Amino acid sequence: MANFIICTDSAADLNADYVQERGIRVVPFYISFDGENYLKENIDLTQQAFYERLTDGSSAIPKTSCPSINDYMEVFENCLKEADRVVCICLSSKLSGSYQSACNAASEFNDGENRVLVVDSLLATAAQGLLVNEAVRMRRRKLTAEETVERLEVIKHTARVNFVIDDLTYLQKGGRIGKASALAGILLNIRPVIALKEGELFPVNKVRGRKKAAAEIKNLFTEEVKGHMEEYSFTALNFPQQGDIDGFCDFLVKPDIPYTAIGATIGSHVGITAAGIAYIKRCVQ
C-alpha cells in the first residue's frame, strides 16, 4: 500500500495531467449561475464551459458552494482502500467551509487513529497548489503523513498570492467592495493590487494601469523573499483567455516558470481579469 494519498479541493487549480500523474484526489466545489442548479467543477462544468458562460454577455454572477461532508467521506473511503493515510489540503477556512467539511468527514475515519489528516492551507488557487506540490515532494522523500503535515503547517505561512484585477464587478457583487468604489475604479482606470496571506485577502495598493500594477507586485515579491528567490517555488496565474500576462513574471528571470489557470471556484469571485504570481518557500527536508 502507498504511504499516503494526497487529497485537495478544486480551489487549488491543479492541472489535470499533474493530478493524474501524481495520484492526487480532487474534491470538487460546486458552481451555479442561477442559484438553483449546482455543477461540480471540472466534472459537470469544464473550465472552457465556465469561461464561455462567464463571457457570454449574461449578467449572471456565478455562485459557489463547498464540497459536502459526504463528498469528502466518499473520497476518503476510496483512498483508505489503497493507502494507510490520507493528507487532505483544503482552501483557506477563512474563505470557505471546505476545510470544516473535510474535518467532519475525517472524524468518521479517525476512531482512535488519525488515518485522515486535514490541513487548513490558509491559501487558495495557485498557492494552494504549490502547497500540494510540497506534499508530493515530501512523499517522494518517504516522509510519513504525520511528518509531511508537520512541515506543511510551517511552510504554508511563507506562501503568498499577489494579484491585480481590472474588472471590479465581481468583487463588488460579491460584497468585497462597494458599488461606488467599483465605479470609481472603472472610470479612473484604477487597479487594486491584492495579497492573499494568512488565509485572507488584503488590499495592498491602488494603481493606474497594469504596468504599474506589475511593478507593485514585483516590489511586494522582492520585499517578501528578501534576496532568497532560489529557496522559493513560483507560478504565474491568470485566465487562459488573457494570453500574455503582461510582464507580471518577467522579473523572475525564469522563462520556464509554471503557469496556473484560475479555475471556476476562484474565478467566480474575481472574474476573468485577475493576474499575478504565487510563491512558497520550499521545505528544505
Q: Which tens digits make up the pLDDT trace of 31-85?
A: 999 888 999 999 999 988 998 888 887 767 899 999 999 999 999 999 999 999 9
pTM above threshold 0.85: yes
205 bridge partner residues: 193
Q: What is the pLDDT of residues 130-154, one digit of tens each?
A: 999 999 999 999 999 999 999 999 9
Nearest 5°: CA angle at 265, between 44 and 133? 100
Asked if residues 202 and 195 have their Cβ atoms less than 8 Å apart, the reply is yes
3-class DSSP state for residue 17? helix
What is the C-alpha to C-alpha distance for residues 58 and 47, in angstroms, rounded to an integer? Answer: 17
Q: What is the pLDDT of residues 16-34, one digit of tens each?
A: 999 999 999 999 999 999 8
**And the C-alpha cell for 185?**
475604479
pLDDT bucket at 177, cuts 50 / 70 / 90: very low
Asked if residues 124 and 95 have their Cβ atoms less than 8 Å apart, the reply is yes
